[in-house]
A and B are shown apart, each in its own frame.
Chain A
Amino acid sequence: MKAIAGVFFQTLLLLLLAPLLSGCIRNWKAKLQNRRGPRVWQPYLDLAKFMRKDMVISEHASWVFHAMPYVLFLSTLLAGLMMPLITAAAPLRLFGDALAFIGLLALGRFFLALGGLDPASAFGGMGSSREMTLAAIAEPALLLAIFTVAITSGSTDFSQMLGAAQTPAWRLLNPAHLLAFSALFIVLLAETGRIPVDNPATHLELTMIHEAMLLEYSGRYLALIEWSASIKQLVLMALLVNIFFPVGIAVGLEPAALGWSMACFLGKLLLLAGAVVLVETTNAKMRLFRVPDLLSAAFVLAALALLSTFLFH
């Protein structure tokens, strides 16, 4: 009973918080650039608008085109349910750990790429190939960084990692964690399609990576895909803040603890969002063939982090 309630509430949290986070980031970016920017709750209105609209589908589309938004949405949601957000024990923690988490995100991305290729449009294919190129380098970095934390805490289960973080043996200034955090931050920028990897606000097709795959989508499919992208962003940010700074995470289920945990979680998320906004505003988008340089830097940082766990004891 408690488990089902947990699943229900975490799903609700994911669905409702994700667009708010996207809206915050967009608004703050505009404020830093001296504009007023869209309202913070604009993404909700956008999602509602997309849901109401008709869909225009290419005649070359196959079942993949129709299946992709659902697969993406569900896989991202499932991955989010395996991530501890407010409680130390994620609702679906018995169904999967860090490896399943990464696998589900990869599944979603795979179908996203297929969905870009399916309608046989040139820009879609271009976006898919770019996305897979970056994924090929970003995912090993993500894996190595998560393994670093897994090795120090002794398990790939996120809840276990959080539990280990509460013990006094955890060293806040552990260089392995610092290196893993920096590697994960760069991977976060790549996975969520932020400057300097990809410009989420561009309307020039030749500069798109993520948006190019979505050009053929409209209506409720587009709503689901945008929502999934926001949820993925939320989940990855939660990974960063909860695993490395598990301050105030609720161990039990008392309402007071949950309330305090929610407040801390929101605070940390907003701080991280602020950091992302700063990085986005102060950097320019990198040329596509330079992005592997950045991602290989993340890879080497993650590899060093892994090395450090063995050698900095």
Chain B
Amino acid sequence: MPLLSPLLIAPLLAGLLCLLTPSRRIMEAAGVLAFAATLALGIGLLYRVLADGVVTEWGGFLCADALSAWMVLLISIVSLATSLYAGRYLRVELAVGALTPGRVREFFVLTPVFGAGMLFVVLANNLGVMWAAVEATALSSVLLVALYNRRNSLEAAWKYVVLGSLGLALALLGTVFIYAAACKNHEHALPSFNWSQLVVVADQFDPNLLKLAFVFAFVGYGTKAGLAPMHTWLPDAHSEAPSPTSAMLSGVSLKIALYALLRFHILTTACLHSGFSRHFFLAFGLFSMFLAAPFILVQRNLKRMLAYSSLEHVGLICTGIALNTPLTIFGALLHMGYHALAKPVLFFAAGNIHQTFHTLEFRAIGPGVGQVLPVTMVCMGAAAVAATGLPPFGMFVSEMTVIAGGMAARQTTVSVLVLVALLACFCGILQQLTRILPGVRSPGARPPAPHAGGGVSAMGLLLGGLLVFSVWLPAPLLALLHQAAGVIEGKS
């Protein structure tokens, strides 16, 4: 039974349906159903990959190994939660007049397309098609970021699209160079551009051209992944987008770009057998973490702070990849998963706060959010504790894995630096959130809007998953992660 094609077709059909149907309820339901289907298919894919190693379809055009399967699971669950939350969120926005019905339809059409694009990225075997899919996700998310017709939204969307397109142009150049490096040995026939076949013959590539290709691809895809110093679009885009979209952007689209980077990293290491690509990951990863820390500490806007926190986590994942021991790579992959579960909850809660208090500035929100939105406070508190790396949540485990793995590999400086950056972000986030969440509303504060918080199902799903998977990783999932780590290290 084909698994990969339905994974792509389901969200696209949902998007098409939303384009045609006039009823808003059908639109809301379509997204939820499509992503529930992809989640089910993803679980099926997990078992198939564990059994067969690699799953291909359409003659090798679509190919899923363990790393792809892991990403498929993450994309599905975050998109499902977003679709669950978006229904109520957009209903409120429509009611207060912040969005027109046309824009709401735009959201429901573009979000499944966005999700389908991301699924295509992880399933495409051909490097050029992978690039085209990343560009497709970028373009579909741009209009989502610009959904509100506010000046700030347009500014954020413009920065996002310009920087993103520039980065992707560089990544395309890197892709072209890799193809040229592969062409060296094939004078008269077209070599295959499929990643699975390239990685087998990587030894024969021209090393100089491959290095140049990696540099361009790293800077290009790194811009999409939000690595500093190419991250300047990140806080703007993630804060000005509607909260469901922010959740998807922070939760998975950064990871998609990291996935593309990982594919190039594996190819480069297979050819050069040196730490050339790892140095890039380490330098940019640490730089991102240390850049995020001060901005979190002085931040005044809730969603911008969350965006900088995403930057920090992406930096941590890159550092974990760079340390290159089985333990740290496993930790990095695990961290991807936990971050994808926790960050969307924070964004959903921020969305609730925004709709209730009509502002995202900490000073304007004031203390005592818990009085007005108790459920939101609990969820946000739990997710914040998770996201800053406190036990018993899973991020503690993954962060400790990375740090401990670094120490074990005698990279003590790196581990210490990572620890310092994590501590700074921990302080920043918790300080800001404790200022607004608990406490009593000050009497002079602006009265909150009557629509109290909602979206419990979405937040509950993710938090529940986070709690469960923090204490118990089912055996198939563990096996999948080990297999994915093996793919990154270069074992077939």
Direct contact of A and B (CB under 8 A): no
Chain B residues with a Cβ under 8 A of chain A: none
Chain A residues with a Cβ under 8 A of chain B: none
